[in-house]
Amino acid sequence: MKYTDGNNCFVYIDHDEGTINQVSLELLTEAKHLMKRLKAPEKVVAIWLGTFTDDILKMLGDYGADHIITCEREDLNQYDVMKHTTVISEMIDAYHPQSMLIGGTVKGRELAPRISARVHTGLTADATQIDLDGETHHLAITRPAFGGNLYATIITPDHFPQMATIRPGVFEAKTFGHTSLPTQETFQYDKALHSPIEVMAIEEKDTKRTNIADAKLIVSAGRGVKNCLNLVSDVAAHLNGEVASSRALVDGGIMSKNHQVGQTGHTVRPSLYIACGISGAVQHTAGMDKSDTIIAINTDENAPIFDVADLGIVGDAQAILKQLQKQLDA
Amino acid sequence: MNIAVLVKQVPDTTEIKIDKETGALIRKGIPTITNPDDLTGVELALQLKETYGGNIHAFTMGPSSAKNMLRELYARGIDEATLLSDKAFAGSDTWATSHILASALKKHAFDLVIAGRQAIDGDTAQVGPQVAEFLKIPHVSYVDRVIDYNDGMLKVKKNEEHRMLTLNLPTPALITVLDEAAKPRYMNMFDIFRRSHLPLNQLTCDDLDVSLADIGIKGSPTKVKKTFNKSATQKQPKQTLNPEQAARTILDFIEAKGGQS
């Protein structure tokens, strides 16, 4: 789809029955920063499907939305890839946004490509950085490829909206001290919406949900400490931190997937990240190199993890963890 | 149950090397493999065929060297394989690639199209859903398991971050599969000798109903502006310490940073 009259940056708000996914707030904040850098600043427009309330309006405004377009149908409260594709594509047709950001969650990565195919535009997956190409609306979107061994900057020069998915934790959600609430308008869509996909059952996963994405301190375990994970947990507990792991331990069935940091796991940005026995392939560092401070422990002095570390210790992580435990106990 | 499986030949990423001077990929001598998630898709198709009968047809877009991958898939037990190969396809982004694949799939009637979740070279997870849209059939991404198939209705488990969904999906439909969905079997020598020489279909741009404006670099909405190695941040001095010193250094460092403990 090509057009030149549109403006604004759409941000798709991912929510479950009104509970907003943090990644959407991160994108609102990032979109706000981007739009401010334009010579003629433009609006950040939050896209909301389903039942809408004043509390949601205020919250979206706090994180950067200038305007909200809602489609308040009860049959949109539950995410459905077919219905959401239809309504969002109709919105794009009606409003001609220059760009659209969607959280790189399972939902987002299922939905965004479908929309991009329908409206015939470019979609860049898993952006880690978004810049503006000069003072134009063109987004220069940087993303990793080849498991993080290579980065590419992608542009969508003549199709709109320029779409990108962004994984949780890549950008920071921040509130702006707004004096006024965002404006709101309703997108009237009265046609019947059918989806052939029927939800039969929903099971919540792991009741004891580890939330490494929000942790302030993470002790992360790699192959080098696979035989002393209790030690890792103990040191993490002493430091009031969470335990995470590299992909190797998840693939090996030793740690569960929700602990995994890296390109195919979580992106984390704690104040402190302690990498124990992790070699630090780009696939891993892509998920943690935005941590404020990184300590790396590895026996191999050439391990790439040391390239991102603020403090690098060459040594046996197990022995060092044992000492840490001892000194923390003292 | 007639199944199409989408597969891609990819470089074996762990062995990818970058020219430190130019930042370009060194492709020479790099071994290629069938994309792991796609191999899961092939295995799932084989299992579904064993239970429900039918036919499995693998499609790939790529250079002629991808024939080797298709021969391996014959040895694994698929019934038919098609290579989509044309200079005009080169440089296609996910939109253009999906458009080409969908054009080939439209020539057949499938109950189910299976794609791997994502390819290890691009990591986009976009081609599956885009193909589904071009085919105007529903899709579910991140399928962890196919539970059953009854009266044209597929029941699947979808793996989201914090929950598992059981979904009913009428066919024809497309699913993208996680590696949990099936564990690829070992090939046996007999099948390798007996089946890997089966004839391959090869289609070019002329065989498909696609316009040159919609394929290749020209037909791709996204353009690669530049590629680069992420330069490692400045190397910090590394310290080789005995465990006791190391632990003390770490705790001092944490304290200096604001006393997390």
Give tens-digit pLDDT for B16-46: 666 666 555 666 678 889 999 999 999 999 9
Å from B197 to nearest chain A CA? 31
Q: What is the pLDDT of residue A253?
A: 84
Give tens-digit pLDDT for B133-169: 999 999 999 999 999 999 999 999 999 988 999 999 9
Longest CA span, chain B: 70
Chain length of chain B: 261
Q: Is the pLDDT of residue B83 over 50?
A: yes
Name the residue type at position B120. I
Give tens-digit pLDDT for B232-241: 444 567 888 8
Give tens-digit pLDDT for A182-201: 999 999 999 999 999 999 99
The SS3 assignment for A143 reads: strand
Q: What is the pLDDT of residue B17?
A: 66
Residue of A125, A149, A152 with shortest CB distance to B125: A125
Task: State the complex-level ipTM.
Answer: 0.89
Peptide bond into A182 cis (omega under 30): no
Q: What is the pLDDT of residue B261?
A: 40
Å from B1 to nearest chain A CA? 19
What is the mean predicted confidence (pLDDT) over B58-87? 96
Tokens 């009968």 correspond to: B53
Q: With an 8 Å Cβ cutoff, are A197 and B160 in contact?
A: no
What is the mean predicted confidence (pLDDT) over B97-122? 95
Strands B201-203 and B163-170: unpaired
Contact A121, A141 (CB under 8 A): no
First to last CA, chain A: 66
pLDDT band for position B120 (cuts 50, 70, 90): confident
Ordered structural domains, chain A, with CATH: 9-186 (3.40.50.620), 212-329 (3.40.50.1220)
Q: With an 8 Å Cβ cutoff, are A202 and B164 in contact?
A: yes
What is the mean predicted confidence (pLDDT) over A271-287? 90
Residues in A closer than 8 angstroms to B233, CB to CB, are 289, 307-308
Å from A30 to nearest chain B CA? 21
Q: B residues 156-215 near A, CB within 8 Å?
A: 158-170, 173
Q: What is the pLDDT of residue B21?
A: 63
What does the block give as tokens for B114? 């299976």
Q: What is the pLDDT of residue A207?
A: 47
What is the mean predicted confidence (pLDDT) over A121-143? 88
d(CA A62, CA A294): 31
Percent of chain B with pLDDT over 70: 90
Query: Is the Cβ of B227 closer than 8 Å to some Cβ of chain A?
Result: yes
Q: With an 8 Å Cβ cutoff, are B98 and A313 in contact?
A: no
Q: With an 8 Å Cβ cutoff, are A314 and B168 in contact?
A: no
Q: Is the pLDDT of residue B189 over 50?
A: yes
Residues in B closer than 8 angstroms to A106, CB to CB, are 141-142, 158-161
| Mean confidence (pLDDT) of chain B | 90
pLDDT band for position A147 (cuts 50, 70, 90): low
Q: Is the pLDDT of residue B77 over 90?
A: yes
Query: Is the Cβ of B233 closer than 8 Å to some Cβ of chain A?
Result: yes
Strands A15-16 and B139-150: unpaired
A23-27, A100-104, B106-110, B224-228: least confidently modelled range? B224-228
Higher-confidence residue of A136 and B84: namely B84
Residue of chain A with shortest Cα separation from B214: A120
Residue of B121, B238, B251 with shortest CB distance to A327: B251
Q: What is the pLDDT of residue A25?
A: 97
Q: Is the pLDDT of residue B15 over 60?
A: no
Q: B residues 29-58 near A, CB within 8 Å?
A: none
Q: With an 8 Å Cβ cutoff, are B250 and A311 in contact?
A: yes
Q: What is the pLDDT of residue B123?
A: 85
Q: With an 8 Å Cβ cutoff, are A239 and B261 in contact?
A: yes
Higher-confidence residue of B190 and B41: namely B41
Higher-confidence residue of A150 and A325: namely A325
Higher-confidence residue of A205 and A103: namely A103
Residues in B closer than 8 angstroms to A150, CB to CB, are 16, 18, 23, 25, 227-229
Percent of chain A with pLDDT over 90: 65
Residues in A closer than 8 angstroms to B164, CB to CB, are 202-203, 205
Q: With an 8 Å Cβ cutoff, are A323 and B142 in contact?
A: no
Residues in B closer than 8 angstroms to A149, CB to CB, are 13, 16, 18, 25, 229
What is the mean predicted confidence (pLDDT) over A115-141? 90
Higher-confidence residue of A209 and B169: namely B169
Mutate: best of B183, B230, B233, B240, partner A, most A CBs <10 A: B230
Stated as kind and residue range, the H or E segment containing B219 is none
Q: Which residues lie closer than 8 Å to A102 by C-beta, 6 or more apart? A: A11, A12, A14, A27, A108, A111, A112, A163, A164, A165, A166
Residues in B closer than 8 angstroms to A217, CB to CB, are 260
CB pairs under 8 A between A and B: 255
What is the mean predicted confidence (pLDDT) over A206-234? 84
Query: Is the Cβ of B224 closer than 8 Å to some Cβ of chain A?
Result: yes
Q: Give B167's strand partners.
A: A199, B156
Q: Is the pLDDT of residue B260 over 70?
A: no
Residue of A114, A145, A316 with shortest CB distance to B121: A145
Å from A253 to nearest chain B CA? 12
Q: What is the pLDDT of residue A202?
A: 94
pLDDT band for position A6 (cuts 50, 70, 90): low
Å from B144 to nearest chain A CA? 12
Closest by Cα among B190, B133, B256 to A116: B133
Residues in B closer than 8 angstroms to A209, CB to CB, are 162
CATH number assigned to the domain with residue range B2-214, chosen from the 4 options 3.40.50.620, 3.30.200.100, 3.40.50.300, 3.20.20.70:
3.40.50.620
Å from A124 to nearest chain B CA? 8
Residues in A closer than 8 angstroms to B257, CB to CB, are 271-272, 293
Å from B220 to nearest chain A CA? 7
Peptide bond into B63 cis (omega under 30): no
Strands A44-49 and A9-12: parallel
pLDDT band for position B247 (cuts 50, 70, 90): very high
Q: With an 8 Å Cβ cutoff, are A149 and B170 in contact?
A: no
Q: With an 8 Å Cβ cutoff, are A150 and B228 in contact?
A: yes
Q: Hey, how many other C-beta atoms are within 10 angstroms of the C-beta on A3?
A: 13
